[in-house]
Chains A and B, each alone.
Chain A
Amino acid sequence: ILNVEQSPQSLHVQEGDSTNFTCSFPSSNFYALHWYRWETAKSPEALFVMTLNGDEKKKGRISATLNTKEGYSYLYIKGSQPEDSATYLCAPRLRDYQKVTFGTGTKLQVIP
Chain B
Amino acid sequence: GAVVSQHPSWVICKSGTSVKIECRSLDFQATTMFWYRQFPKQSLMLMATSNEGSKATYEQGVEKDKFLINHASLTLSTLTVTSAHPEDSSFYICSAVGGSSGANVLTFGAGSRLTVL
- In the bound complex, residues from chain A placing their C-beta under 8 Å from that of B105 are 34, 46, 49
- In the bound complex, residues from chain B placing their C-beta under 8 Å from that of A99 are 34, 46, 49
Given contacts A43-B108, A44-B108, are A103 and B4 in contact (CB under 8 A)?
A: no
- In the bound complex, residues from chain A placing their C-beta under 8 Å from that of B46 are 99-102
State the CA gap A63–B109 with chains docked (Å): 25
Convert A90-112 into 0s and 1s, putting 1 for each residue whose CB lies closer than 8 angstroms to a CB of B. Answer: 01010000111111110000000
Classify the interface of chain B: helix, strand, loop or mixed.
strand
Contact indicator B104/A32 (Cβ below 8 Å):
yes
State the CA gap A100–B43 with chains docked (Å): 12
Given contacts A98-B32, A99-B34, are A105 and B43 in contact (CB under 8 A)?
A: yes
* Chain A contact patch, size range: 20 to 34
Q: Which of A4, A36, A43, A45 contacts B109 (CB 8 A)?
A: A43
Contact indicator A34/B106 (Cβ below 8 Å):
yes
B25 to chain A, nearest CB (A): 13
Given contacts A98-B32, A100-B34, are A49 and B104 in contact (CB under 8 A)?
A: yes
Contact indicator B43/A49 (Cβ below 8 Å):
no
Listed in ascending order, the chain A residues whose CB lies under 8 Å from chain B are 4, 32, 34, 36, 41-46, 49, 89, 91, 93, 98-105
